[in-house]
Amino acid sequence: METKSATVFVIAEQGEGGIQPVSLQLVGKARQLADELGSKVGAVLLGQNLTKGAHELIAAGADIVFQGDSDLLVPYQAELFTEIIVKLLVEHHPEILLIGSTFMGRELAPLIAAKLETGLTAHCIDLVISSEGILEQKIPAYGGMITIVCPEKRPQMATVANGVFSNPALNTTRSGEIISIDVPNEFPLRVQTLEIVKEKSEGVYLESASVIVAGGAGAGDHDGWCQIAELAEVLNAGLGSTRPAVDAGWTKLETMIGQSGKMVSPEVYIGIGISGELQHMVGIVRAKVMIAINNDAKAPVFEQVDYGVVEDCRVFVPALVKALKNKESYIGRATHVI
C-alpha cells in the first residue's frame, strides 16, 4: 500500500516525569493502526521544554511530532489548547485522533470534537481497523461489548485510559520529524487555570500496586467498606472500588476501577462484594491471579476469576483480617470454595 501522510494523530501529555504513560501507549497503538492503513503517526505535544519528550514519542512510534513550546501553555489552558489543536487538525485532516482518558484529556476531547463537529467515543477498551478502513471503537455496554463507528465525520475520535494498551518498546534509533507550531502571543481566556494542586493519594498507589483489594456494593454500608479498607491496609495493597461504592460515598472517585475508572494489572486482585459487571471487570483483565468473595454463588464474577469464596464478606473479611494479624490460618465456618 502506498504510504500517505500522517493520518493517525495522538494528543500527548507531558508531566513532571516526562511523557505520560497513556500517551506512549496510545502512540504504540497508533503505530499499529497506521501500519494497517499504510500511513504515519503524528503526535501533538504542547507545553514547555518539550525536546526530550518529543524524542520519546518518536522512540515509541511517532513519525512526526508537532511541538508547541510556550510559557503560555503551562499550566494547561483548555481554550488555548483547543484552539491550537483544532487549527492543526483542520490543516492536516487526520483520519483518527486518540486522546488519553486523563483529567486533561476528558476535558479536551469533547471541546475538540464540538469544534470539528465530529463524533467522540469515550473510554474505549479496544480499537480495530475494519475491512473498510473504518476505526471500530469498542466499549463495554448493555452487559456486553458494543462497537461504535464514525463512518462520515473526521477525525474519528476516541479516548482511552491508561493501562488499556501495553507500553510500547522504545526504539531510540528511530528517526522522526519534529515540527514547531505557532502559539499565539496573546489569547483571551474566558476561564484560566491558575494552579494545579495534586492531592496526595492515601495508601498504596493503585496503578502500580502488586496486590489490589477492591470492594463493591456488597460491602453493604460504610462500616462494611471500612472492613474492606482494613484488609487492604493489612495486605499493604491498593484499595479499589466499583462505581456503586463511589456513588454511595464510601470512597473517592480515584479508587474506581473499570471502563470509566482506572485500568490496573496487579499480581493479585481480590474482589469483595462485587457482582462482576463488565464495566468493572475490563479494568482488571491483565491481573495475574483473581479472587472473588461474594455471598451469591451465581454471581457472574465467579465465572471470571481463578478462585472464589462464597460467603458474606462482612463475616469473612473481619475473620481474614484477624487471621492475618495473628498470622493464623482461617477456616470459614460454612465457607464453600469454588
pLDDT for the residue 15: 85
Q: What cell does 268 get?
A: 493479585
Stretch 210-237: mean pLDDT, rounded?
95
211 vs 334 pLDDT, higher one: 211
Residues with Cβ within 8 Å of 210's Cβ and at least 6 positions away in sequence, in order, are: 266, 267, 268
List the domains of the chain with CATH numbers.
Answer: 6-180 (3.40.50.620), 206-337 (3.40.50.1220)
Mean pLDDT for 44-54 is 94
pLDDT level of residue 278 (50, 70, 90 thresholds): confident
pLDDT tier at 330 (50, 70, 90 boundaries)? Answer: very low
At residue 163, the pLDDT reads 85
Cβ pair 158, 98 in contact under 8 A: yes
